[in-house]
Amino acid sequence: MDIKDLNLKSVEFTNYIKEEHEKTQVYLHHTAGGPSGEAVFRYWEKTPERVATCVSISNDGTIVQGYSSKYWAYHLGLQKPTFAKFGLPYKSLDKTSIGIEICNYGFLTEKNGKFVNYVGGVCEDICELETPYKNHKYWQNYTDEQIESTRKLLLYWGEKYGIDLTYKEDIWNVTPRALKGDNGIFTHNSVRKDKADVYPHPRLIEMLKSLK
């Protein structure tokens, strides 16, 4: 996979840490927000904590890049008690991982025959899971374009950094593999019990399984 094959758009962004670290993990997130990857970076630029992912993927599949994947920002919100629960020392995984942020509102609630997100907006593009995930059955769809852009990014970074692209089912819950810094693809759920991004969308899982 060549970088020219990516539907990539760079934006002016300064709110990250310009330090290079070896990359061994990729984490999949979703924004719990609207469709624009550019808007995501405009919001992050105003936050003092330097919270951001390397890229955000708009609903149309455009990959919006705020900084090079060789640098880093805080995107995991790691909690020391989570490491302690598994008898593991704390590791600053933000430095050695790359984050992908998919623009998506997340879980939905059915009200009067309509599906609304957590801020009350009505959503018409619905994914209904066979088995509820974290007590939610209805979610906003990840678009086919977003899933395809995610696939291309994973292939690109897998080759660039030697990241293991093998799908493993434990990524949907907190797993010691992630906390130890094991090489591979994970979700925000892999290190945070209180998170629900990304969710196990059937087409997303199918794509992840196809990588290896």
Tokens of 3: 């970088």
Is the whole-model pTM more than 0.85? Answer: yes
Cβ distance 61 to 146 under 8 Å?
yes
Could you list the pLDDT tens digit for every one of the 212 residues in the chain? 667 778 899 999 999 999 999 999 999 999 999 999 999 999 999 999 999 999 999 999 999 999 999 999 999 999 999 999 999 999 999 999 999 999 999 999 999 999 999 999 999 999 999 999 999 999 999 999 999 999 999 999 999 999 999 999 999 999 999 999 999 999 999 999 999 999 999 999 999 999 97
- Could you give the residue range(s) of every CATH 3.40.80.10 domain in the chain? 3-104+142-210
The fold of 3-104+142-210 is Lysozyme-like (3.40.80)
* DSSP for 60-88, written as a single string: T--EEESS-TTSB-B-S---HHHHHHTT-
